[in-house]
Amino acid sequence: MATNDPPIQPVQDQNNMEEVEVRNEDIVSTTEEEKIPPQKSGVRINPNALMQTGKYEKGDIVHMAIVERGVRTKGTFTVARARYNSSGDFHEYQLTDDKKKGTGVWVREKALKLQEKAKR
């Protein structure tokens, strides 16, 4: 029967170990040219690129999962305001609930799903 114990290895005496001479050619250097670039080869970052627009607009009806009294349910909300969070590089939306008058907290775009586009 096999055991899961690690194999026993002999103890090495640090005082009796020989020093190994390292040549300069063996040392890996990290110069500016050798560092990994922030983009893939053949793909360049456009410094004048337009900012991505949000999925939802003011008046759109969206839904998301909410937890009320320990039960996960689907909550339906209307988008009241939208903003771009530059620190996290994502869009946020302030939602209004038809049952509860007033505006709510800011919610990230990835937590929402479109239910109905606003009529324009």
The SS3 assignment for 98 reads coil
- Does residue 103 form part of some domain? yes
Number of domains in the chain: 1
| 6 occurs within a structural domain | no
What global pTM score does this model have? Answer: 0.54
Residue 52 falls within a domain, yes or no? Answer: no
- Strands 113-116 and 61-68 turn out to be antiparallel
Residue 43 included in any domain: no
Q: Which domain holds residue 88?
A: 61-116
**% residues pLDDT > 70 (the chain):** 65
CB 112 within 8 A of CB 93: yes
Task: Kindly report, residue by residue over 31-88, the tens digit of the pLDDT.
Answer: 666 666 666 677 777 778 777 788 999 999 999 998 889 999 998 899 999 998 878 7
